[in-house]
Amino acid sequence: MLKKIEAIIREDKLGEVKDALNEIGIKGMNVLEIRGHGRQGGITLAGRSGTYQVDMLPKIQINIILSEHNLDETIATIVKAGRTGDAGDGLIFVYPVEEAVRIRTGERGHDAVMYPGDIDERKHKGAA
């Protein structure tokens, strides 16, 4: 079963989260610059002419398609690397994925998102 992780994190946590994911063998991903707000509805900033409300804050969205059996480890890694403990650390959403197709080879499903040295190859090496 393929899943999609959509992780919304702080902009300044992208480097740490990327490094941590790379360390556990998560290779394929895409990253978007987004804007949004959670339950605080933005933040109040103090400017020269008084305070003003910024309702849509810049965030980073990381999308990863992966096998279900790697979900827990990957989520734990993002939480550990992305957390400051303050409001605005972000959210992680998980979706089911219908299908994946690697255009060059026609590979489908799990095979389409396998990479040399990835999280699954590492596990097999570790077990051998």
Ligand X SMILES: Nc1ncnc2c1ncn2[C@@H]1O[C@H](COP(=O)(O)OP(=O)(O)OP(=O)(O)O)[C@@H](O)[C@H]1O
Interacting residue ranges for Mg ion, rule: CB under 5 A: 38, 40, 87-88
Using alpha carbons, select from 65, 4, 7 the residue that is nearest to residue 36.
Answer: 7
Residue with Cβ nearer Mg ion (73 or 89): 89
Residue ranges in 42-61 that form contacts with ligand X under rule CB under 6 A = 57, 59
CB of 74 to ligand X, least distance (A): 18
Largest Cα–Cα distance in the chain? 65
Minimum CB distance to ligand X, residue 106 (Å): 34
Residue 3 makes contact with ligand X by CB under 6 A? no
Is residue 87 a contact residue for ligand X (CB under 6 A)? Answer: yes
Alpha-carbon span 113 to 10, nearest angstrom: 26
- Backbone φ, ψ for residue 33 (5° rounding): -90, 120
The answer to whether residues 122 and 42 touch, using CB atoms and an 8 Å cutoff, is no
Q: Shortest gap between Cβ of 86 and ligand X (angstroms)? A: 7
Size of the site for ligand X (CB under 6 A): 14
Segment near ligand X (CB under 6 A); pick from 11-19, 36-44, 64-72, 118-126: 36-44
CA distance 32 to 60: 6
Residue identified by tokens 């339950």 is 39
**Tokens matching residue 27:** 């290779």
Interface residue list for ligand X (CB under 6 A): 8, 34, 36-40, 57, 59, 87-91
